[in-house]
Amino acid sequence: MIRPLSKPARVALLILLGAALSLTGGCEQRRKPVLDQIIERGKLRVVTRYGPITYYRNRGSDTGFEYELARRFAKKLGVELEISIAYSRDELLDALRKGKADIAAAGIIKDGQPAGIYFGPDYLSVRQFVVRRRGVNPADGPEDIVGKRVLVVAGSTQEKALNELLPAHPGLSWERANRLETLDLLEAVELGQVDYTVVNSNEYTAHRGVYPYLRVAFAVGEPQQLAWAIRDHPSNYGLRFQIDRFFDQLRESGRMASIIERYYGHREPKSQYQSQAFLNRMRSILPEYRELIEQIALEYEVDWRLIAAVAYQESHWDPKARSPTGVRGMMMLTRDTAREMGVTNRTDAEQSLRGGTRYLKKLLAKLPDEIPMPDRLWFALASYNMGYGHVLDLWNLARRENRNPYRWNEVKDLLPTLRQEKVYSTLRYGYARGDEALKYVQNIRYYHDLLAFTEINTVRVPPPKKAEDYIPERFNRQRMLSAF
């Protein structure tokens, strides 16, 4: 026979049931889909790293390859983007596990399956490069770096790559440091503080212009893929679906190729002399004209570094420059263009810079409205170099081949064909040195990036005290960039 509970027992039971229901409700709240939480708070929290191909502040604006992808994804979700910074792979993934971020977007190598972490679709293939200083420490393989000073970030994918070499090379050793960026590692090699470091190939590509004396010794491991990371939990299934769909749409629409072109398409190797000559003139000549360039850029609402890069490509910042074809001045204006832009003295630096900037703005405005930035700028620069008519020919040529004429990455390889008789004879404006126009645009983009690199110094956090054995107090690239 079941006896009824006494009143005290009933009260105790009710208290226990209430507590259980409260706990259950709390669990349900915690299990609320992350995508719903993002929409409700109106913010997508993304953790990343500082760097020219991840995220940095560019004269008050955010930029970087990973930032561009994250910005587009947040816009797709209809929410704001909130950026936080980590300084290692472990910190990035830990931010996800602790719920401090929704996504880690920082050029993370899709390596294994870390506990509690899910990787999204691949979007870029990279290698691990062992980097040395030119002229010293030649190395063709792991056996050549045994007994040498090698510096990597503790717990990084690069350290894992070295660990995998140990069975075949038991004498291999390296030094580990925390919270260092790729810039710190490359600087340590350039200063001779260590013999080698190991970095991702895409990061080396992004930085090599600033370090023209560094060289790739050899690659370790197999090609690996970069991907975003999120917490691996049932509450994240909706976010996983949206990320997968987002990258699929980027690829299918061709926008991913355009974004990769924007950040990587102009970074083909430059000669040591070319990079070093630019850096030397940036220190010695540019300071004389920088204030003037900034003033003119402000008047015409353009990036001063773009005008500086164009002026360097045209004349190496020489106001008296003159070509065999008769173009003259810092912006190398023709007589007709100078007259059109109101320039009476082409060798006057201010007149030339102002006239060239005005002409570039005119070309930008002349382009069809449906061409977005930054492709719009690349076509305007090509027009500045070879004439707008030849750009019209380029677009017609692209249409013949069923390419999108207004996407730079789809048509840039057609530029060299404008020299070929079988091609230019079928076009309205005829022969053009399209290969030179292509090089012209790529060089300006390259020089602009070297100038923009100085902005990274304003947002990077100094290495912690325990890293000072490797990176001294003077590490801030002001030795190289003192003019800025």
Write out 190-217 in H/E/C secondary structure: HCCCCCEEEEEHHHHHHHCCCCCCEEEE
| Residue 406 CB coordination number (10 Å) | 17
Q: Strands, DSSP E only, in 202-296?
A: 214-231
Do strands 124-133 and 196-200 pair parallel, antiparallel, or not at all (unpaired)?
Answer: antiparallel
Number of C-beta neighbours around residue 38 at 10 A: 21
Calpha distance 174→166 (Å, rounded): 11
Q: What is the DSSP string of 36-92?
A: HHHHHHTEEEEEE--BTTTBEEETTEEE-HHHHHHHHHHHHHT-EEEEEE-SSHHHH
Whether residue 384 contacts residue 410, with contact meaning beta carbons closer than 8 Å, is answered with no
CA dist 447 and 449 (Å) reads 5
Token pair, residue 333, equals 């204006």
**Residues 175, 91 contacting (CB under 8 angstroms):** no
Q: Supply the DSSP symbol for 374.
A: T
Choosing from 181, 314, 410, 455, which is the catalytic residue? 314
3-state secondary structure of 181: coil
Is 82 known to be catalytic?
A: no
Nearest to 116, CA basis, from 224, 23, 24, 235: 235
CA distances from 52 to 45, 64, 272, 392, 453 (A): 20, 6, 20, 33, 7
Token pair of 420 as six digits: 């070929």
Amino acid making up residue 328: R
Please, which residues bridge with residue 229 across strands? 104, 119
Question: Which residues are 51's β-sheet partners?
Answer: 55
* Residues taking part in catalysis: 314
